[in-house]
Chain A
Amino acid sequence: MKKKLIEFRNVSFRYTDEGPWVLKNVSFDIYDNEWVAIIGHNGSGKSTIAKLMNGLLFPQEGEILIDGQAVNEETVWNIRRDVGMVFQNPDNQFVGTTVQDDVAFGMENRGFPREVMVHRIRKSLHAVGMEDYLLAEPYRLSGGQKQRVAIAGVLAISPHVLILDEATSMLDPRGRLEIMDTVQSIQKEHDLSLITITHDLNEVVQAERVIVMNKGEIWREATPKEIFSESAALRKIGLDVPFTTIMADELRKCQIPIENEPLNHEELLEELWTLHSKM
């Protein structure tokens, strides 16, 4: 059986005592080595979920467990060893004057011995394909390179959970590809659950499971195929659906019975091919 790594149990949260609830009675589990995408329109509560996962915020109601341990003010420092986060703006997450200093920062805070740091800096920069930039100044890097260094800084702590909170949204298409390639190769080689909070549909279709948030509540929790089979309902709550889903819907309207919910061009073409050979 798969191990539960993150548990949200009836979690409610609001930013002020009188303010509106940003999360309302949210419960879900995330398992070991899983890739989960969390989607939802702006203000649906998805980033709040991320901040609750590593104790940047605490819920007013309910309970959050990371690897069996409840997140509270006493456990938060242990929890943050386990849950690494990369944020949206690449320019807001640098402290070091060189790439290696920056990657070392998280380890220094946790009192790692020097030899361990030297080894892990190289290892984690290698994992994100930035090993040639040890002494580079972060501000000279491209957006995609900066985010890769930020990911390396998190990996160096060897967390069990990596959260990307819209980490690709300020990058150009090339930068986005860099990050997604990096993340995929890391997940293959490390024991890591990956949580991507995103608007990018290409990131969503790659995940194993999707949690759709709407107005502070879980709207659906399912595989990408299941989620995108409800394209009309998704649009209603302000979300986009992939080109392939749009085409499948339009083809069905033309009496072409696309059955399995195709997630990419190849799957759609394969269905069309099968249908046409039957015609």
Chain B
Amino acid sequence: MDITFKDVSYIYQKNTPFAHQALDDISFSIPSGSFVAIIGHTGSGKSTLIQHLNGLAAPTEGEVMIGDFRITNKEKPKDMKKLRSQVGVVFQYPEHQLFEETIAKDIAFGPQNFGVADREIEKRIQEIIPMVGLSEDLLERSPFDLSGGQMRRVAIAGVLAVKPRILVLDEPTAGLDPRGQKEIMDMFYHLHQKENMTTVLVTHSMEDAVKYADHIIILNKGKKYMEGRPEEVFTQVEALNKVQLDTPEMIQFLDKFARKFKREIPFQKQTSDQLAKEIQQVLRGVESP
């Protein structure tokens, strides 16, 4: 499903003394099947933006299109429930939303609400459990007996069980240890490719953004500040530093390398072993000018 924002503004508590403009004239379009990272500081409008993706918020001005669903200030899709079954949102710390007696029941809660038949839910749970890295013998246990990382996997399984076409992830790895972070992100990336989903990742991690996303949107104070492919956006070091955002560590290193050796190695999302080879070539090149 394509996602299009056209001149979208959102004002909290409009026409009151507490009015606060969270989004300011934002336009972009994300083609179906993209992996988009949305980056910005706390308060930049990221969370408000993702609430527009499944109709939790409607724009104060402008228009949001999610596939064929059109959301404006005046017009809400007739079938909001259908929109929500197609846009799965993994909120921050989703394990706080677990509530059922057993893990199986908790995962089933979402699809049941969308009227999926019990047998189909059963089948989906069998598929999803290994996908999120849980084991089947946990299904009848209470979700509250699990570790934090496992609880998060259960919560994610609940979103996936609805089989959304768009997956929205709001800092899905916050608070996990490095191995847990990598496992969860690799799982989302695998799913993204396998199911050809559109994935929207809200993150503070430039490393994740550059590793997984094919498109970057940077927000600053409610406005779209930059947009483009990772290698285009992240190499604009000055513009990023201006809004106090860092660049991925490899870009910082390449910048320092260029200054010390007077030789530029362009950033092309290369892996560390590729970069090592490029550095080797520079060192050799200096040896025999």
* Residue positions of A touching B, CB distance < 8 A: 41-43, 88, 142-143, 166, 169-170, 172-175, 199, 238-240, 243, 246-247, 250-251, 253-256, 265-266, 268-269, 272-273, 275-276, 279
**Are B275 and A247 in contact, CB atoms less than 8 angstroms apart?**
yes
Confirm or deny: B252 has a beta carbon within 8 angstroms of a beta carbon on chain A: yes
The distance in angstroms between the C-alpha atoms of A83 and B210, with both chains bound, is 41
Enumerate B38-60 residues with CB–CB distance to A below 8 Å: 41-42
Beyond A43-B147, A172-B42, A239-B178, whether A279 also contacts B277 by CB under 8 A is no
The distance in angstroms between the C-alpha atoms of A175 and B280, with both chains bound, is 37
**Chain A hits for B147, CB < 8 A:** 42-43
**Chain A hits for B149, CB < 8 A:** 42
**Are A88 and B175 in contact, CB atoms less than 8 angstroms apart?**
yes
**Chain A hits for B41, CB < 8 A:** 172, 174
**Are A250 and B178 in contact, CB atoms less than 8 angstroms apart?**
no
Q: Which of B178, B204, B287 contacts A240 (CB 8 A)?
A: B178
**Are B249 and A243 in contact, CB atoms less than 8 angstroms apart?**
yes
Q: Which of B180, B252, B283 contacts A256 (CB 8 A)?
A: B283
Enumerate B245-277 residues with CB–CB distance to A below 8 Å: 246, 249-250, 252-253, 256-257, 260-261, 272-273, 275-277
Beyond A199-B178, A247-B253, whether A42 also contacts B148 by CB under 8 A is yes
**Chain A hits for B246, CB < 8 A:** 173
Confirm or deny: B80 has a beta carbon within 8 angstroms of a beta carbon on chain A: no
Confirm or deny: B286 has a beta carbon within 8 angstroms of a beta carbon on chain A: yes
Max chain B Cβ within 10 angstroms of own Cβ: one of A143, A255, A275, A276: A276
**Chain A hits for B261, CB < 8 A:** 272-273, 276
The distance in angstroms between the C-alpha atoms of A265 and B255, with both chains bound, is 10
Enumerate B133-190 residues with CB–CB distance to A below 8 Å: 147-149, 174-180
Residue on B nearest A268 in the bound complex, by CB: B253
Confirm or deny: B279 has a beta carbon within 8 angstroms of a beta carbon on chain A: yes
**Are B180 and A170 in contact, CB atoms less than 8 angstroms apart?**
no
Max chain A Cβ within 10 angstroms of own Cβ: one of B246, B257, B283: B283
Confirm or deny: B112 has a beta carbon within 8 angstroms of a beta carbon on chain A: no
Q: Closest CB of chain B to A239's CB: distance in Å?
A: 6
Q: Closest CB of chain B to A222's CB: distance in Å?
A: 19
Max chain B Cβ within 10 angstroms of own Cβ: one of A42, A199, A266, A268: A42
Confirm or deny: B244 has a beta carbon within 8 angstroms of a beta carbon on chain A: yes
Q: Would you list the 4 A-B pairs with minimal beta carbon distance, nearest first?
A: A250-B276, A240-B178, A238-B179, A279-B287
Q: Which of A166, A238, A250, A273 contacts B273 (CB 8 A)?
A: A250
Q: Closest CB of chain A to B283's CB: distance in Å?
A: 5
**Are B260 and A142 in contact, CB atoms less than 8 angstroms apart?**
no
**Are B276 and A265 in contact, CB atoms less than 8 angstroms apart?**
no
**Are A250 and B275 in contact, CB atoms less than 8 angstroms apart?**
yes
The distance in angstroms between the C-alpha atoms of A246 and B148, with both chains bound, is 29
**Are A265 and B252 in contact, CB atoms less than 8 angstroms apart?**
yes
Q: Which of A42, A174, A240, A276 contacts B283 (CB 8 A)?
A: A276
**Chain B hits for A279, CB < 8 A:** 283-284, 286-287
Q: Closest CB of chain B to A39's CB: distance in Å?
A: 9
Q: List 26 A-B contacts (CB under 8 A).
A: A41-B178, A42-B147, A42-B148, A42-B149, A43-B147, A142-B42, A169-B174, A170-B174, A170-B175, A174-B41, A199-B178, A238-B178, A239-B179, A243-B272, A250-B273, A250-B275, A253-B273, A254-B276, A256-B276, A265-B253, A265-B256, A269-B257, A272-B261, A272-B279, A276-B287, A279-B283
Residue on A nearest B283 in the bound complex, by CB: A276
Q: Closest CB of chain A to B155's CB: distance in Å?
A: 16
Max chain A Cβ within 10 angstroms of own Cβ: one of B174, B177, B180, B249: B177
